[in-house]
Structure 1
Amino acid sequence: MKTLFPRIAAFALLGVSAAQAGTTVDLAAEASRPAVNDQVQAVVYVEARGANPALLARQVNQEIAGALQLIRGKAGVQAKSGNQSTYPVYGREQKIEGWQMRSELVLESRDLAAVSELLGELQQRKLAVGQVSQMPSPETRRKVEDEATRDAIRAFQARAEVIAAALGKSWKIKQLAVSQQGGPQPMPVFRATKAMLADAAPAPLEAGESQLTTTVSGQIELAD
């Protein structure tokens, strides 16, 4: 993993409060750090159309059950049910001509190679890949967010020192808020044709990085 310096920014707005209080300054600072995307989430689904909704549901459920059996044979990969929908297909004069059903499974793992291989095998079973997102695991995210928070707080304090020194005053924190940004990175999904499904190869997955940003905002009070 390449090492990057955290990105730090700060800005301030000077304001005067009530006479009995000292001068207050609205201040914000942010810092960003890269986090390895060591967790992957993939959505796979079965979609089918038919005239009989009961038979259609049985067909889709059988395919989902087969996919779950395959997934459970992969160590380190968890699966859970995703969105499910059934809706009518209308023809002329808005008459129902059939039904369409879609059922999803959500895969999660920290083993990118296992998920890559599994997606290829699931496509051979005629499941489609809806979306693949890569993100830092909860442990990685928490560690990097803590580092970015320390950076942002130091930037906040440094800017407060600059402002107070320029005005020849001492300062104290009056109010403080901390927030984080940075989410999953979705990957483009290439949908395979029926001819391609027979030879579906493992989908290549690269970990990459997400940029996590912590913003510290608040107010300081200046005193003589």
Structure 2
Amino acid sequence: MTFIRPLLHATPLLLMVLATPAPAAASDEAPITTVELSAEAERPAANDLARASVFAEASGATPAEPAGRVNKLISDALKTARTYAKVRAQSGATHTYPIYGKDARIEAWRMRSELTLESRDSAALSELLGQLQTALGVANLIMLPSPETRKQAENEAIIEAIAAFRERARTVADALRKDYRIKQLSIGSGGRPPAQPRMRSAALASADAAPMPIEAGETLIRATISGQIELTD
């Protein structure tokens, strides 16, 4: 006889429902059009500051020999410069170096020392340079705007460059029949005066001690505006 055993336990069926988020609705906002622009302006700045560098140079068998001569020349030059109240004098670079012969041995020593002169009175500096040239060489002479003059010209150039940037932005926006707003701006400025080098390896004769001709001229200060605008409805 076969017995059928009743089912005492049944494993319940578990149903798992995974909730999946609905896809996000696409944005109704139109993409913003961004345009990069740049503009620049220039303003002249008077070169009202003169800067010159004079030097003394000598050679000798030992370092002490050229040092004695060069130091004396520079000391005398400083005394002369102090008689010009409108000229500021400042010690510059000084170098002492050996001179080698063919056998790589030191044959002599050479020394060079510089003096920097600066003044807003170009006539006074011209006269002083004429006197110093009887004993010293002139390494360079440059005319440039003073910090105050440069800043004023720079500010004026920046204002003009910003106006040019806004005008260009309006032109672009009107052509596309849009309005605009400025998103980002970058302001830069620059300007370099022309250098007037004067190079002399030997002093002039005392009879030639005439004032050095100086033409001030102007420096163009440039301001550049670059940035981005966003076109809006």
Q: Distance in 1 between matches of 2:96 and 2:82?
A: 26
Q: Match for 2:58 among 38, 44, 48?
A: 48
Q: Distance in 1 between matches of 2:199 and 2:206?
A: 12
Q: 2:16 — aligned with what?
A: none
Does residue 112 of structure 2 align to residue 102 of structure 1? yes
Q: Distance in 1 between matches of 2:47 and 2:150?
A: 9
Q: Distance in 1 between matches of 2:68 and 2:231?
A: 71
Q: How does 1:10-159 map to 2 (within 5 A)?
A: 21-124=31-134, 126-159=135-168
State the Cα deviation string for residues 44-64 of structure 1 (Å, max 9, x = none): 000111111023222211211
1:195 Cα offset (Å): 5.8
1:140 Cα offset (Å): 0.6
RMSD between aligned residues:
1.6
Residues 156 and 195 of structure 1: CA distance in aligned 2, closer, same or farther (over 3 Å): closer
State the Cα deviation string for residues 24-56 of structure 1 (Å, max 9, x = none): 111110001111111000000001111110232
Kindly provide the amino acid, as one letter, of the partner of residue 219 in structure 1: Q
Stretches of structure 2 that go unaligned for 5 or more consecutive residues are: 1-28
Q: Distance in 2 between matches of 1:71 and 1:102?
A: 19
Note if contact 2:193-2:218 (Cα within 8 Å) is conserved in structure 1. no
Q: Distance in 2 between matches of 1:73 and 1:180?
A: 38
Note if contact 2:140-2:199 (Cα within 8 Å) is conserved in structure 1. no
Note if contact 2:50-2:118 (Cα within 8 Å) is conserved in structure 1. yes
TM-score by length of 1: 0.87
Helix, strand or coil: the match of 2:109?
Answer: strand
Structure number with greater Rg is 2
Question: Larger strand proportion, structure 1 or 2?
Answer: 1
1:84 Cα offset (Å): 1.4
Aligned residues: 205
Note if contact 2:139-2:197 (Cα within 8 Å) is conserved in structure 1. no
Q: 2:4 — aligned with what?
A: none
Helix, strand or coil: the match of 1:84?
Answer: strand
1:104 Cα offset (Å): 0.5
TM-score by length of 2: 0.83
Q: Distance in 1 between matches of 2:33 and 2:194?
A: 43
Helix, strand or coil: the match of 1:52?
Answer: coil
State the Cα deviation string for residues 119-146 of structure 1 (Å, max 9, x = none): 000012x100000000011111000111
Residues 20 and 76 of structure 1: CA distance in aligned 2, closer, same or farther (over 3 Å): farther
Report percent identity of matched pairs: 52
Does residue 196 of structure 2 align to residue 187 of structure 1? yes
Helix, strand or coil: the match of 1:214?
Answer: strand
Q: Distance in 1 between matches of 2:170 and 2:41?
A: 18
